[in-house]
Amino acid sequence: MCKLRSETVFNKVLYFSAITIVVLLVSIFLTLILGSLPSIKAFGIYFLFGKTWDPVFSKFGAFPFLFGTLLTSFLALAISIPFSTSISIFLGEYFKEGSLSSVIKNMVELLAGIPSIIYGFWGLFILVPIVRFIEIKLDVPPYGVGIFTAALILAIMIIPYSASLGREVIALVPSDIKEAAYSLGATRYEVIRKVMLPYARSGIFAGIFLSLGRAIGETMAVTVVIGNTNFFPKSIFDPSNTMASIIANEFTEATGELYLSSLIEIGLLLFVVTAIINIIGRYITKRIGVKI
């Protein structure tokens, strides 16, 4: 009898913990919605398109931050894609094993492990002077901090994510179709370009997509180097703010219900966007049979 009871208790504990996780996520979502209700009521859809963010007059439009987030993330993506795809091909095709591949592989994994505040701190003291130097050469205002600097740091940070998934899908390309292409006289480049990459396309895309999710939500590294101004950026060298960095900067000093609620609504937007990206990314990777 006692044995039976401890079995049911054990099963209940398992179910309870699974339900707790589901409830946790649902309550995170509900908390964000509840917190942003005052701002949703006050501004409605104009919250997304309003260009002024003025805490003094309680006028909040998040468009500059949406734009800043999209600009930094896509710029970072554009910078990172050649490198992450190269690493995927390097590890998935040219050097599948051996010391050279393990050097690159370990390095990329450790790169993913470096805390984002350290990226930011390093960027502020090392990368910002370099960017300032480039800006002087290009004859643009030499802020040093700004969208371009943030995108550079983000690009370094997201390379490991898309590279590791890309490597797995490239390694999964069946060797018989590669051999078929070789037997037709194709060079290795032609095999990679016309057989492997088309075959692995959706997996590589999923990796890039998931790293976009990372870039959108990344906070600390961006907050330190983006320059934190609430104006609409005119060029990619201007200082700006992203959705995550505006929360990090102003949340503790937000006075008044509407101010706080507007910041929480930005958090809600971040949550929804990253959730959609992750669900789609998971769907793609599940379909092609790769674990993430």
Partner 1 sequence: MQIDSKTGISSRIIKDRFFKALVVSLSFFVTIPFFFILFYIFKNGIASISWEFIVNLPKPVGETGGGIANAIAGTVLLIALSCATAVPLGVAAGVFLSEYKNSKLAEWLILCVAVLQGIPSIVIGIIAYTWIVIPMRHFSGLAGAIALGIMMLPVIIKSTEETLKLIPDTLKEASLALGVPYHKTILMVILPAGLSGIVTGILLSIARIAGETAPLLFTAFGSQFMSLNVLKPINALPLLIFNYANSPYSEWHSLAWGASFVLITLVLVLNLTARLVTKKWKVQF
Write down the least CB distance from residue 67 to partner 1, Å: 18
Q: Which of 215, 272, 70, 117 is nearest to 264 (CA)?
A: 272
User: Of the two residues 71 and 170, which places its CB atom closer to partner 1 in the complex?
Assistant: 170
User: How wide is the angle at C-alpha 225 spanned by C-alphas 219 and 228, nearest 5°?
Assistant: 80
Q: Which of 129, 187, 235, 287 binds partner 1 (CB under 8 A)?
A: 187
User: What DSSP line would sit under 113-151, residue for residue?
Assistant: HS-HHHHHHHIIIIIHHHHHHHHHHHTS---S-SHHHHH
Q: Does 257 bind partner 1 (CB under 8 A)?
A: no
Residues 143-182 that bind partner 1 (CB under 8 A): 156, 159, 181
Q: Which of 53, 85, 103, 33 is nearest to 267 (CA)?
A: 33
User: Of the two residues 7 and 54, which places its CB atom closer to partner 1 in the complex?
Assistant: 7
List Cα–Cα distances, 44 to 38, 51, 242, in angstroms.
10, 14, 21
Write down the least CB distance from residue 139 to partner 1, Å: 27
Report whether 149 contacts 128 (CB < 8 A). Answer: yes
Of 48-56, 59-67, 88-96, 143-151: span binding partner 1 (CB under 8 A): 88-96
Structure tokens at 261: 């609620």
Count of positions on this chain that bind partner 1 (CB under 8 A): 88
Of 30-38, 59-67, 135-143, 200-208: span binding partner 1 (CB under 8 A): 30-38
Q: Does 28 bind partner 1 (CB under 8 A)?
A: yes
Q: Which of 82, 129, 174, 256 binds partner 1 (CB under 8 A)?
A: 82
What SS3 class is residue 53?
Answer: strand
Q: Does 218 bind partner 1 (CB under 8 A)?
A: yes
